[in-house]
Amino acid sequence: MKILVCIKQILDPDMPARDFKVNAETKEAERGGANLVTNIFCENALETALQIKEKTSGKVTALSYGTDDTEDSLRKALAMTVDEAALILREGDSNPDAEAVAKVLAAAITKLGEFDLILMGRESGDWGVGQTGGLLAEELGLPSLAFVDSIEANDGTLTMRRQTDSGTETATVTGPALALITNNEFNVPRIPKTRDVMMSYRKPLEKFSLADIGLSAEDVSGSSFYEVTDLSIPTKDVQCEFVEGDSIDEKIGVLASKIQPVVAANS
């Protein structure tokens, strides 16, 4: 079974909120002192892929569209025991739209060969647009399923479980498919063994330019789908009223009197 996992490197979503600053000019977040990390759902996708590989057999390839910095995320994927990695070096817009990314990934996947299963994270922790997966499925003409949290492979048939608003659904598909992975308790990304971290530097990580995969910067200019026209940090003008009172009972009384009307109106 050949599995390809597309991963995205993003600005650390756990950076302290007070450190978060935006550049009004470029309409992007300032890197500042924050780190770049692999998007968590992409790591869930890697973990899902590796578990399938370990249960059956085959090969897992990690693919990313990014800069030289992105190599770190791919190395980490290799340390998680992904077999090989490919990095398409980004040209032009530093925040390409979802369609541009989907086109790049589709071209890269065509270049890399045939895959039985393509996994992606359900959305990214930076822009969180969540469109790339669906668009890539269209580009590749593959059936897809979103919010998948576990996959079993049996004789070419994939059984996927996914989360819905009210519970779960199970779907089966034969032949190549694309799944957008969400987290569950079974796909918590593994901590790489140090031995594997050391080995990851000896595993193949190929870098491609857009030209290598048959695209030009104009093909994927990155703002023909949508364009960010404003990015700002909202200033919350909510003033929290701290409940006052001489005793805790009194405070609770005040709190209850504030809550009670809403409760009465909605019961």
Partner 1 sequence: MSSIPAGVPTREIYWNVPFHDLLYVFLVPTLAIAAWGVYRRVRLWRAGQPILRFDRLGERLDLFVKDVLAQGRVVRSSYAAFFHTGLVIGFLVLFAATTVVAIQADLKIPIMQGPFYLFFQSLTVDLFGLYVLVGCAMAGYRRWKTKPAKLVYTDEATRLVLLIGVISLTGFLCEGWRIAVTDDPWGGWSPVGFVFAAASDSMMSDSLMKTLHTGTWWFHMALSFGFVAWAPYTKMLHVLTSPLNIFTANLDGYGASLKPLDFEKAERLGVNALTDFTWKDLLDLDACTECGRCTAVCPANTVGKTLSPRDIILDLRELMHNNAPALLTTLGANGAGTKGADSSAPAGAIDAAATLPPVIREGTPLDPEALFSCTTCAACMEACPVHIEQLPKIIDARRYLVMEEAEFPEGMMNAITSLESRQHPFPGTQFNRTDWAEGLGLDVLGDMEDPTEAEVVFWVGCGGALVERNRSTVRATAKLLKRAGVKFAILGREESCTGDPARRIGNEFLYEMLAKGNVETLNKYGTKQIVTSCPHCFNSFKNEYPQFGGDYQVHHHSQYLQELVEDGRLLNGKDDVEKKLDRKVVYHDPCYLGRHNGEYKAPRALLDGALNTKREEVARSGRDSFCCGGGGGMMYIDEKPDQRVNQERASQLLESGADTVAVGCPFCATMLEDGVNARKGDREVSVMDIAELLLEAAGDDEASAPVAE
Partner 2 sequence: MSNVIVVLFGNNGWDRSAEGAAGTGQRLAQSTGGNLNVVFLGDASKEARDGAAACAASVVVVNQPELAEYQPEAALEAAQKACAEISDTSVVLFGNDTYSQELVPRLAHRLGGCSLADVQGVTADGGQVLATRSAYGGKAMSTYSMKKTPVVLWVRARAMDPATPGAGGSLEEKAYELATPRLTITSRDVLESEGPSLEDASIIVSGGRGLGGPEAFENELKGLATAMHAVQGASRAACDAGWVPPNWQVGQTGKKVAPELYLAIAISGASQHLLGMGDSKMIAAINTDPDAPIFKHCSFGIVEDYKNVVAPLTEKLNSMG
The residues binding partner 1 (CB under 8 A) are 12, 14, 16-19, 33, 35, 37, 190-195, 197-198
Q: By CB under 8 A, is residue 129 in contact with partner 2?
A: yes
Q: ∠ CA 128-237-24 to the nearest 5 degrees?
A: 50
Report the 10 Å Cβ neighbour count for 98.
Answer: 19
Residue 87 or 100: which CB sits closer to partner 2? 100
Give the one entry of partner 2, partner 1, none that residue 55 binds, where binding means its C-beta sits below a cut-off of 5 to 8 angstroms depending on kind: none
Name which position in 172, 191, 204, 216 contacts partner 2 (CB under 8 A). Answer: 172
Q: Which of residues 221-250 bind partner 2 (CB under 8 A)?
A: 223-234, 236, 238, 240-243, 248-249
Q: By CB under 8 A, is residue 165 in contact with partner 2?
A: yes
Q: By CB under 8 A, is residue 175 in contact with partner 2?
A: yes
How many Cα atoms occupy the beta-carbon half-sphere of 188 within 13 Å? Answer: 3
Question: Which is nearest to 73 in space by CA: 119, 147, 6?
Answer: 6
Q: What's the rounded Cα separation, in Å, for the pair 86 and 146?
A: 24
Minimum distance from residue 168 beta carbon to partner 1 (Å):
24
Q: Which helix (H) or strand (E) holds 32?
A: none
Minimum distance from residue 127 beta carbon to partner 1 (Å):
20
Q: What's the rounded Cα separation, in Å, for the pair 120 and 5?
A: 6
Q: What's the rounded Cα separation, in Å, for the pair 37 and 125?
A: 10
Residue 66 or 125: which CB sits closer to partner 2? 125
Which distant-in-sequence residues (6+ apart) come within 8 Å of 101 by Cβ? 65, 132, 135, 220
Contact region with partner 2 (CB under 8 A), list: 56-64, 76-84, 96-104, 190-198: 96-104
Asked if 171 and 145 count as a contact pair (C-beta separation under 8 A), the reply is yes
Question: Which is nearest to 72 in space by CA: 40, 37, 121?
Answer: 37
Minimum distance from residue 252 beta carbon to partner 1 (Å):
21
Site mask, partner 2, residues 31-70, x = CB under 8 A?
----------x-----------------------------
Give the one entry of partner 1, partner 2, none that residue 134 binds, where binding means its C-beta sits below a cut-off of 5 to 8 angstroms depending on kind: partner 2
